[in-house]
Amino acid sequence: MSSRARPRFRLPALPAGRAGQSAGAGTGDRVLYGLCALAGLLAALVLIEVVYQVIHGAGPSISHFGIGFLGHSAWAPNFGIFGAAAAIYGTVLSSLMALIIATPLGIAVALYLSMMAPPAVRTIVGPLVEMLAAIPSVIVGFWGVDVLSPFAARHLQPFLHSVLGFIPLFGPPQTTGLSVFSAGLVLTLMILPIVAALSRDLFLTVPTELTEGAEALGATRWEIIRGVVLPTTASGVAAATVLGLGRALGEAIAVLQVIGDGAGIHSSLFLPGISLASRIANEFQTPDNKLDIPSLFYLALILLAIGLTTSVLARWIAGRFDVHRTLA
Amino acid sequence: MTALSHHVGRDPALPDPTAPLTATGNLRRRVAVSRLISILATASAVFAVALLFNVAYTVIQKGAPAISFSFLTQNSSGLAGGGIANALLGTIVLVAFGALIALPIGVLTGLYLTEFASPTSRFGNALKLVLDLLQGLPTIIVGVVVYGLLVASQHLETGFAGGIALAIVMLPMIARSSQEVLLLVPNSMREAADALGVERWRTVTGIILPAAAGGIATGAILSIARAAGETAPLLLVDSIYNPTQTQLNLFGHGVPSIPMFIYTTYDLPTTSALTRAWGAALVLLTAILAANVGARFLLARSRAKMGAR
């Protein structure tokens, strides 16, 4: 388009450099476009390769166990018995627990940062909360083993059992603390900054005309939050929590360290369990059976399906909000 | 005017003008609820910060005794002791290799989305979806995939595979953050360049990229900090290596890394090993948090610069 705008009558008088550039007009543009499109294609190719590799690797296990793999809870590599149910159960239970705790907590932190904190506090506390998300999972995991699990076993588990013991989830307290419960708490720490940071950014986009209008009508701060801020950002906040859920579902190392590597499905949160990602991390290096690695790929396929679904779901819920984790 | 004084009888329907200005009845309840919510929100923020400090305090308290000059400059000698020099160098090489692959692809993808794809372009929108899906990918799956791609055929774990895995982790972060920063570059700059008949590639390399450089660097630093702490993919494709040797060649053998050092040393049966694991965690956490703080400053500076133009 720039070549079309170039005046023709200057052609004979042009110096050499100018003429050369004119002759090559569009080549640079085409090269840059080609490079950018190639990079985009490569990124798309990575995703296709991810899906292909996981399905391909799971092949032997899929043809051997079929869809029944999803329903079997036993996992005994030495005997060639593989089933995903216990790992799916542990994944869903620990992630939901994290989501239930981290969502209200994260929204509360976001409300504080966006509506209540003085500017000086906001510029310090905001980044501090986001830094929670920067802690490597292996460090969070060992903190979970050394600090959180003993605390949970000594204080949280007995308390919850005595108050809510009639619910099967809160069974008798265990001694080590390595449990689905601890995994849920560790995941809470990991998704809290995601929910908090994304929600804060959403709350800051609420037009001041709306909040100030409500204030002028005599609404209290809570009424502004409930009547204006939360309704206008609801879909974005929901998407943020789904993104947090996706992160929790796929966390391998930190969960592996605190979940206790238990077998079977138990109603009590305080017993050891296993999750999809942590089982893959735990057993990949030491296969006991020729179907072991394909079965771990099968677990990865289930995890991939869950992960892609949550990502698409988050995008779909977010609607007009462009919610995604750049920092987290 | 004595009409409002107490001595004269007044209309009981009117509020007492001398009453103190405090809320009563329904308003009192509403204010109380609002205040309670404010207190809860503040407490939540305090709790979140306390969590960060608790983790940081734990790492410092358990790791500081291990930190010394020799801890940073000596190679590990396994169970016996030693330092983290080879793991540190290994992580630097792995992350640098990953960044070398992910950075150009990521930035060019960001450029494609902002400079070439129209908002209605089908490939452009599909690409955004792809980046979101890649970013939401559990990192353990990246490990599984790279295992299937590069390790399975010969059962050989290599630093190359580890670097590729880290590149896949970094790519969507870099692409998405580049795209965001490029969108911040004022359109008037592009229009001015177009009006002067500047070719698009010259506009991009001479005007748009320099204007966005600070923001792109911020995204790159954050993604590098993230990759430096990744354990799950390395556990699957780059965890078998000689822990006592320095490996700077990525091909043919595994390369040690700080996350794998922490993960494996923690399980050794001596208390000194435990201290060394926490020491390595302290080094890693310090580097990552410092990178985050640095990236933030860089972003604030480049935002200010762009706003000033």
What is the percent of chain A with per-residue pLDDT over 90, rounded to a whole number? 50
Task: Tell me whether A40 touches chain B (CB under 8 Å).
Answer: yes
CB within 8 Å: B141 and A129? no
Q: Is the pLDDT of residue A10 over 70?
A: no
Q: Is A230 on the interface with B (CB under 8 A)?
A: no
Q: Residues A223-271: pLDDT tens digits?
A: 999 999 999 999 899 999 999 999 999 999 999 999 988 887 888 888 8
pLDDT of residue B233: 93
Inter-chain residue contact B134 with A43, CB threshold 8 Å: yes
Per-10-residue mean pLDDT, chain B, length 309: 52 71 77 92 95 95 90 81 88 95 95 87 89 92 93 87 95 93 88 89 90 91 93 90 82 89 87 90 95 89 70
CB contact under 8 A, B145 and A303: no
| pLDDT score for B21 | 65
pLDDT of residue B23: 65
Binning pLDDT at 50, 70 and 90, where does residue A7 land?
Answer: very low
Q: How far apart are CA A180 and CA A258, in angstroms?
A: 8
Residue B155, both tokens: 């059962």
Q: CA of A141, closest CA in chain B: separation in Å? A: 10
> Which pLDDT value is given to residue A286?
80
Provide the CA B123 distance to its chain's centre, in angstroms.
28
| Res. A123: pLDDT tops 70 | yes
B83/B276 Cα distance (integer angstroms): 8
| Nearest residue on chain B to A30, alpha-carbon basis | B201
ipTM of the prediction? 0.87
Q: In the prediction, which pLDDT does A324 show?
A: 56
Q: Which residue of B has its CA nearest to A221?
A: B34
Q: Check B148 against A53: CB less than 8 A apart.
A: yes
- How far apart are the CA of B119 and the nearest CA of chain A, in angstroms? 14
Interface test with A, best of B35, B121, B135, B145 (most A CBs within 10 A): B145
Residues 60-99 of A with CB under 8 A from B: none
Of the partner residues A37, A125, A134, the one whose CB lies closest to the CB of residue B49: A125
CB contact under 8 A, A281 and B219: no
Contact state of B106 with A39 under an 8 Å Cβ cutoff: yes
Beta carbons of B68 and B275 less than 8 angstroms apart: no
Residue in A closest to B152 by C-alpha: A57
Cβ distance B109 to A43 less than 8 Å, yes or no, reads yes
| Cβ neighbours of B293 in A, within 8 Å | 127
For the entire predicted model, the pTM comes to 0.88
Between CA B83 and CA B67 the distance in angstroms is: 9
Lowest mean pLDDT among A93-107, A188-202, B69-83, B269-283: B69-83
Overall CATH class of domain A71-318: mainly alpha
B-chain residues within 8 Å CB-CB of A113? Answer: 45
